[in-house]
Copies of this chain bind each other. A is one copy, B any other.
């Protein structure tokens, strides 16, 4: 059985990544593509790498019809997303890739995003899209909120440890290295090749990155008490990938066992043998997440390192994985492509 899907905001990198994956997905059929600033153009004009595909021309959202559309991927900017989604017809399922429905608490949303939420009742019903931990709710949801790509990486390495109580909760440090496509196709000086190549730096230092809202919400819920981590992202001279280095207190062997057990049956999350740790390159352009654990020379201190591709497992791959569940398809359908190396 084939389902009809539309992609709103198809002219950005996550939109293009959705199209890339769906191109070889046997059960999804793209019937609509919106891109307000590029309406009237073909995808081949916006993304020449997609020119072999027979795709609808980009339209405005206003010109798009949702009759016969089973599911919409919404890859719009934050704030725009909530407005558009609240006006979608009721028969349409939605996977939102923006930040608009990640935080369940309207006050937390306002605190991190600087404005009140405009669709609080939808916010309440949205399911957080970290597939491996919300699988059942996602399968039944109408609206799933894709996670932040940094937030996904941090949670894959920390959630099972917090849940199992095997690490200290008050001294977790997450030093994250993110490739530039996470910032989208936006014209900012620091994203220019001449500025970024041969350069790297931290950003949002001091606990100001919005994905902390997700960490706070999720880690506190799991722990049953407030948990705040220290989190510093760094911008890398690379296009795809996130590598997160977590410094935790706890026994490395226990940590490794806990993670191994937690992800034992997961098709996309792979815990390496104890003492090994991954390069971001080994999951490139794939839906896999690899995790390694190493004991530090200092007793009861461990380092946990996780990698994923921000555009795939961290965003559009995750979105397809959730859409598969929502449509009753096999969860891994269309997502088993091997990483591209080198």
Instruction: Using CB atoms and an 8 Å cutoff, list the residues of chain A in contact with chain B.
Output: 13, 16, 19-20, 23-24, 47-53, 171, 173, 175, 177, 179-181, 185, 187-189, 191-202, 205-208, 212, 228, 230, 232, 234, 236-241, 243, 245, 247, 270, 275, 277-286, 288, 290, 292, 294-298, 301, 303, 305, 307, 336-342
Contact = CB atoms under 8 A, between A and B. Distances in A.
A185 B192 contact: yes
A243 B201 contact: yes
Contacts of A270: 51-52
A208 B283 contact: no
B303 A232 contact: yes
A232 B337 CA distance: 32
Oligomeric state, in number of copies? Answer: 4
B277 A202 contact: yes
B180 A193 contact: yes
A159 to B, nearest CB: 20
Between A241, A298, A336, the greatest number of chain B beta carbons within 10 A of the residue's beta carbon is seen for: A298
B337 A337 contact: yes
Contacts of A171: 171
A279 B189 CA distance: 14
Contacts of A281: 49, 195, 198-201
A110 B208 CA distance: 44
Given A342-B239, A342-B240, A200 B280 contact: yes
B237 A193 contact: yes
7 contacts: A23-B336, A24-B336, A48-B278, A53-B338, A185-B194, A228-B297, A232-B247
A269 to B, nearest CB: 10
Question: Which residue, A47, A198, A239, A275, has most C-beta atoms of chain B within 10 A?
Answer: A198
